[in-house]
Amino acid sequence: MPTFTALTTLSEKQSAQALGAAMERLEPEPMGVGVFELEDGSGLWEVGGYFTQAPDDTALAILAAAFDAAPFAVSKLPETDWVAKVKRELKPVQAGRFFVYGSHDADQVPPDSVALLIEAAMAFGTGHHGTTLGCLRALDRLAATGFEGRNVIDVGCGTAVLAMAAASIWSSPVLASDIDQVAVDVAHANVVSNQLEGRVTCLEAAGFDHPDLSVSAPFDLVFANILKGPLIDLASAMADHIKDQGYAILSGILTEQADQVTSCYAEAGFELVQREDIGEWSTLTLRKSQ
């Protein structure tokens, strides 16, 4: 089955979200629409749709003009077995004590590692990206100091690999939340695959906006591997939901954005414990000092 993409950019979040909603009413109907803030520091938002039939160029041009967006770039993707491709190209990842792998590489799991199974079909948040890798390394370093997480949450969990990593080394249950119900379903499937049912609870929530999270706070460790904008927006809520001397491990941050995020969290009462740059991405380990 052929797949077509239609991508554009615009400068305002609200307009981007409105354009994304309008794209869902197109004929032929897209099989999916995404709205994302670009991670290059430009401040632009990308809106994209995926189609199994060629989209209507005239309708796209009208939408772009109506929402003051750049002209849509339409491409036909080659027919590819993406799961098979991911299986070939995604190799296991070692991050300190953690070993992230797909079932096709089960024979490579080192006997002394903390193994985390993430299937290739659920490949966002596998540990290969510098942000997830940085968070796993930060967790490994924090645990090596003797810290034990007794009340941990992974905000914006994706595959829940970070929540599962924490639940694999500590005895207390871990929460994993995401704003996207599809991600929550993927996270739960991964929890089951790793035999961590009852240890990791997955739920849909925007930031800390969920009754179960309010009841569980304050946390002694929060993961948030999202993006700069949402991280800055969450700084005050993060301070409200982390206990004194508790930790936050943050990523989804470009290296040139790290100082701004660090400064924002310093104003909210956090001190920088460690920063690690992997490629163009930074991971921050912060401690709440007040």
Residue 32 has pLDDT above 90, yes or no: no
Residue 125 has pLDDT above 60, yes or no: no
Q: How confident is the model at residue 3 (pLDDT cuts 50, 70, 90)?
A: confident
pLDDT given at position 277: 92
- The CATH homologous superfamily to which domain 3-77 belongs is ACT domain (3.30.70.260)
The more confident residue out of 89 and 219 is: 219
> Where are the CATH 3.30.70.260 domain residues in the chain?
3-77
The more confident residue out of 31 and 139 is: 139
Residue 90 has pLDDT above 60, yes or no: no
Query: Mean pLDDT for the chain?
Result: 87
> Where are the CATH 3.40.50.150 domain residues in the chain?
129-288
CATH number of 129-288: 3.40.50.150
Q: b or e along 47-62 (b: 16 or more beta carbons within 10 Å of the residue's beta carbon)? A: bbbbbeeebbeebbee
Minimum mean pLDDT among 46-50, 91-95, 108-112, 237-241: which range?
Answer: 91-95
pLDDT given at position 82: 47
Three-state SS string over 86-129 comes to HHHHCCCEEECCEEEECHHHHHHCCCCCEEEECCHHHCCCCCCC
Question: Average pLDDT, stretch 185-195?
Answer: 91
CA–CA separation, 88 and 92 (whole Å): 11
CA–CA separation, 73 and 76 (whole Å): 10
pLDDT digits (tens, 9 = 90+) for 145-173: 999 999 999 999 888 999 999 999 999 99
